Chain A
Amino acid sequence: MLHCEKLTCVREDRILFKDLDFTIKPGEIVQVEGPNGVGKTSLFRLIVGLSIPYAGNVNWQGTSILNDRENYYQNLLYLGHKTGIKPELTAFENLQFFQKLQPSHPGIDLWQVLAKVGLAGYEDVVTAQLSAGQQRRVALARLWLNDCLLWVLDEPFTAIDKSGVKVLEQLFIEHAQQGGIVLLTTHQDLSIDKQLLTKITLQKIEDDFYV
């Protein structure tokens, strides 16, 4: 269970959002939406613990994430705007690194995972030579690989084609049905059943000057 408690984010002396409260339970898919610059990425960076909140707390299973990072990161998979894929390594080597360092499904075959994300035949190509969409697919392949409860995905559909988006949506639904949590931002309309999908809408605040 992920609980954000009176979260306030200040960027460049401006308040992006304040006193944000919400709880996400296992089995939920949550889409954070709002116009550009409203603080979606900042919110996600607070949730994964890359930034420290100006005020408030992020709690995972009742304890603040900053107090017990290693336990929290056992359960977390974060994909940001930057893919985290090394351009000088091949798709296979990149995934292998993540498989060995993060909790992964035992006995999963990396070749099959790469085939699933449509990269069959590209396993041994240095990722710098792949297209933007293919590079993103390498990063997204980690979703099949790992064993984490909480997925925090910042614009996962960037550069992904329509059929790829469908496959991912299906994967999100399966993950939620198995008791996982999916937290994502996207500007596309998701074709996920309304009962499964919750939306958080961030709005620009009027008096956003920090005093």
Chain B
Amino acid sequence: MLRYVIKRLIGIIPILFFVSIFIFLFVHLIPGDPARLVAGQDATLQDVEVVRQELGLNQPIHIQYFNFISGIFQGDVGSSIKTGRPVFDEIASRFMPTFWLTFWSMIWAVMVGLLIGVISATKRNKWQDYLGMFGAVSGISMPSFWMGLLLIQVFAVQLGWLPVGGLESWQSYILPSITLGSGVAAVVARFSRSSLMDILKDDYIRTGRAKGLNEHKVVWGHGLKNAMIPVVTMTGLQFGFLLGGSIVIETVFSWPGLGRLLIDSVAFRDYPVIQAEMLLFALEFILINLIVDLIYGFLNPQIRYD
């Protein structure tokens, strides 16, 4: 198991390297002069040169990259053009709301998705299956921002049960989490259904039945653990979908998180913040996938001995 963990850790190093280059080049891909952008449109040529010196943009590109990387390790990723505050501080206060939003969304989405998937797989071609799968394809097709606005309209505006937006109490989490998780729940339902249906054709399922086990034990005991192996991998990929989706959902619900900060920064062309956020999202996604891989290894005994 330890060897597997080390192998996986080594495996992500090249991806991290390329991602960091990609994000580093990001600022250089912006049309126009970054120094001019930071200094502002009214700045004199001299001011722009001063800024260029400050940002180290006059140095050779590989030195700039080195500075960029060492800056990351020191928690220094520049300052926001808009507020002038360090980007690190801007992001830090926004991180937890987004983290908890995605976390709760994931939790309910996986649980409900699995339940629908298992029911659909066991009640194959019956009304439960059709209902579950039509619900799932609808969940995938539904624009999240539309769903969010509909939920606000019904539960916040009409019924007044839940807050319209913002983050004040635990109730604030309910509508955004439902909205954000619905797509993932749908994908998990579809995927776990097909995975479990494949598994239920396997020989050891027949062995389980031949032992005299009841269907419940056959499906949940012998079927599901095997079916979970591919589902876990897929769920990791869905986490990316959630992180991306949170950008839209946070705008709908005025959520004080990273996603809304990103959209505000794009509108303001606040490149240091955009750059840092892209990096953070990518890191988070890579990290989640690493964790998923480890869970995969834990679920699949054949991996551990390779």
* Bound pair (A, B): no
Chain A interface residues (CB < 8 Å from chain B)? none
